[in-house]
Amino acid sequence: MATGTAAAVRGFRMAVLTSLKLFNPHDFDALAMSIHTDDTNFNTGAEKFDTIEMDAIENQYYDYNMVYNQFDMKHETASLLESRSLQYMKQWLCCRDKDRQTEDLLEAMRYYVEAAEVLATIDAGQKTHNACAQASLLSLQIRIPDIQWIDLPETRARRTLVEQSRFQEALIVAEAYKLNQPGEWAPVLWNQMFKPDLVEQFVAEFVAVLPLQPSMLLELARYHRNEVAARGDQSHFSVWLSPGGLPAEWIKHLGRSFRILLKRTRDLKLRMQLAAAATGFQDVTDACMKVMDRVPENAGPLILRKGHGGAYLPLM
């Protein structure tokens, strides 16, 4: 029953939208023709307007124009465009030879772009952003067909996000599945820490678009501390004892990767806090303290000696 009701509502909306699309409020003659097509006294040629009272036509015209303006239904138009896009996506997902059926993806992307254009005219910012994000995800599916990007469950979408080695693809996935949050980016950046040849470019592209949130950086610092603590005295082993372990020399790469994050952190207090929380970056902590003109808490007592002229100088 509910399905039938939804189909009936959708059909009614489509009928209204079709009528509004065909109606041109500026075509006065066509309106007069449409009003009197069933008039038995309606004649062709020079006599066709003899039986039409112009004031009645004007009244009908303004009534039609009022309906046209009041029932623009742009939200419904965008919703129907998005539903058409979903239909093409389902057709592509059901197709066996997906590599050759890019036409369905192109049509789906086109409808999402049209929906975004409609939503942009009514200042629906978040909905416009979502439609653009879905269109970008479809373009990614067309460019990289070896991986399924669309119609992913939440868990698989997160795993796909973490596995990306390029920031642009990761950002598209995050935007499309509403994962563009600091807590969601922490595992992504941590996964890049073990790719020393890619992490610097990834972080550079990241900070050009998104801010390095303190909560995310502190979580990465905890990841680093736990990673170092988990290794303990196993530095002489070539691999981890647990399955999926990393080579021992990668702990050096991990430190270099984390230093890239520290370098990108402009707030000196936050950088010092990260270096202390991650452990193993005493030089960074000392440098921050020197810049901030602070004495380390573990420093010894200040001892002065009397110099020439009676001035007291600190003993280094």
What is the DSSP secondary-structure string of 154-182?
A: HHHHHHHHHH-SSHHHHHHHHHHTT--SH
- Give Cα 32 distance to the centre of its chain: 50
Confidence of residue 238 (pLDDT cuts 50, 70, 90): very low
| Model confidence pTM above 0.85 | no
Tokens 């699309």, residue?
A: 21
* Alpha-carbon separation of residue 203 from 151, 193, 209, 316 (angstroms): 28, 10, 10, 40
pLDDT, position 45: 46
d(CA 212, CA 214) in angstroms, rounded, equals 6
d(CA 196, CA 162) in angstroms, rounded, equals 16
Phi, psi (deg, nearest 5) at residue 312: -95, 130
DSSP states along 179-236: --SHHHHHHHHHHHTT-TTTHHHHHHHHHHHS---HHHHHHHHHHHHHHHHHHTTGGG
Mean predicted confidence (pLDDT) in 299-307: 64
Mean predicted confidence (pLDDT) in 284-311: 70
pLDDT at residue 217 tops 70: yes
The single-letter DSSP state of residue 312 is E
Confidence of residue 35 (pLDDT cuts 50, 70, 90): very low
DSSP states along 44-58: -GGGTTTT--HHHHH
Q: How many CA atoms lie within 13 A of 227 on its CB side?
A: 23
d(CA 254, CA 214) in angstroms, rounded, equals 20
Closest CA to 202 of 250, 166, 156: 166
DSSP states along 84-111: HHHHHHHHHHH-S-GGG-HHHHHHHHHH
pLDDT at residue 239 tops 90: no
Closest CA to 167 of 153, 151, 185: 185
Structural element, H or E, at residue 26: none
**Could you tell me which residue, 54 or 46, shows the higher pLDDT?**
54
In this structure, of 8-17, 86-95, 109-118, 219-228, the range with the lowest mean pLDDT score is 8-17
Tokens 């303004």, residue?
A: 62
pLDDT at residue 234 tops 60: no
pLDDT (tens digit per residue) in 160-203:
999 999 999 999 999 999 999 999 999 999 999 888 788 999 99
With 0-12 CB in 10 A as exposed, 13-18 as middle and 19+ as buried, what is 3? Answer: exposed
* Alpha-carbon separation of residue 124 from 75, 78, 87, 115, 127 (angstroms): 9, 11, 23, 11, 6
The single-letter DSSP state of residue 308 is G
d(CA 174, CA 149) in angstroms, rounded, equals 11
Query: How many Å is the Cα radius of gyration of the chain?
Result: 33
Residue 242 backbone zone (phi > 0: left; psi -120 to 50: alpha; other: beta)? beta
β-strand partners of 312: 306
pLDDT at residue 154 tops 90: yes
pLDDT (tens digit per residue) in 64-114:
666 556 556 788 788 889 999 999 999 999 887 766 678 999 999 999 999
Amino acid letter at 164? Q
